[in-house]
Structure 1
Amino acid sequence: MPRDPDRSGPGGRVDLGRAAVTDLHRDDPGHTFYYITLTTPGEAFGPALSAWSHEALARRADADVVRYSYADSPFSIVGEQYLRPVRELFAARPDVAGIADADEACAEFALRLRAMETALRRLDDEGLFGVGEARAGVLVLVEVVPGDEENVPAARRLNPPGPALDAWLGPAA
């Protein structure tokens, strides 16, 4: 049986996520990231990491349109070498779309989203996205793309109340 994608420890999803986010900060010094997201399509394939920085957004004439668009960011789908093993774990599990029983399909889908959310929550607990006021300025998400009804509750669970969450909830809610 394939491993549960909701695991941690050496080489676990938390270590892999930490490496991907750390590389993002190391490879792009001078960027203040305000949006970091793990995305997956409605089939709940393995996650991809994307981000936006204030500096990159300031160079866009369409900033209001792309502010929270993982796909339009210059930091779209980064850290692939780290997330590949997580995607392989997801791929080794039953295909969500191929599960005939709707309850079982929903349970598998929820398991994958929970694994992604748990990884980000643990990284947040370590302070990887900042602490205090700095953390309040960073939106951390698990997003089913295109939009999904679960994105808003997940955002509320992952982020402290504050300006970053409020700004995103305005159009998302």
Structure 2
Amino acid sequence: MDFQEELTNELYNAVKTILTDLFSNKEHYYYITLVTDGGAHTPRISAWSYEVLYGSSSEEQEKIKWSYADSPYCCWKQERFEKVEKLLSSRKNIWDLNAEEFETEYQLRFEAMEMAMNRLDQEGIFGINQKRNDVVVLVEVMPPDHANTARAYRMNSTDSEIFSEWLQEVAEPPE
């Protein structure tokens, strides 16, 4: 098994376990993201449900609606990414790579994240507690860049009203 396949499998296992636990609260989610930093290090899950969002003031809702960091579900069960972290740590430090090597490693990691989320999507996990088209599923880098939007288009239906809202309210314009 090559590194990308192994990473995809570990990400899939971690995210499936995390979301299965998270969705047991029966809330209705509109935003689920697998987010990482500019070095494509160990990601974290973040999510927003309508129940939690509507528990905030309307002024606060505007500020936090799409904020992975402000969600009470940010880093939910983060310890489930332990195998992912070990696997990534077994690689050469991404910041020690030359520009071409960095880009190759960076893309490999993001492709693994996207493949894991797509596999979960095909299995129907994002349709638990809500219709699939009622939730935006993302793989994001923070701070955000145009690649988030490109990945979002691959992962969500353009017929989705909530995806259209995400595009209008926070998406970075494509290059």
More helix by share: 2
Percent identical pairs in the alignment equals 35
TM-score for the superposition, normalised by structure 1: 0.89
Query: Any gaps of 5 or more consecutive residues in structure 2?
Result: none
Equivalent residues in 2 for 1:5-154, closer than 5 Å: 5-7=4-6, 12-26=10-24, 28-29=25-26, 31-61=27-57, 62-100=60-98, 102-130=99-127, 134-154=131-151
* Distance in 2 of aligned mates of 1:19 and 1:36: 14
Query: Any gaps of 5 or more consecutive residues in structure 1?
Result: none
Q: Does the 8 A contact of 2:33 with 2:137 survive in 1?
A: yes
> Deviation per CA, 1:74-117, whole angstroms, max 9, x where unpaired?
111112122121122122212222102x1111010001111111
Tell me whether 142-151 or 90-99 shows the greater mean CA deviation.
90-99
* Distance in 2 of aligned mates of 1:120 and 1:144: 15
* Distance in 2 of aligned mates of 1:79 and 1:158: 23
| Candidates 166, 169, 172, aligned match of 1:168 | 166
CA-based RMSD: 2.0
> Deviation per CA, 1:117-142, whole angstroms, max 9, x where unpaired?
100000000000018x8111011100
* Distance in 1 of aligned mates of 2:86 and 2:3: 11
The aligned length equals 167
TM-score for the superposition, normalised by structure 2: 0.88
Q: Does the 8 A contact of 2:136 with 2:162 survive in 1?
A: yes
Shift of 1:8: 7.2
Amino acid across the alignment from 2:41: F
Helix, strand or coil at the partner of 1:129: helix
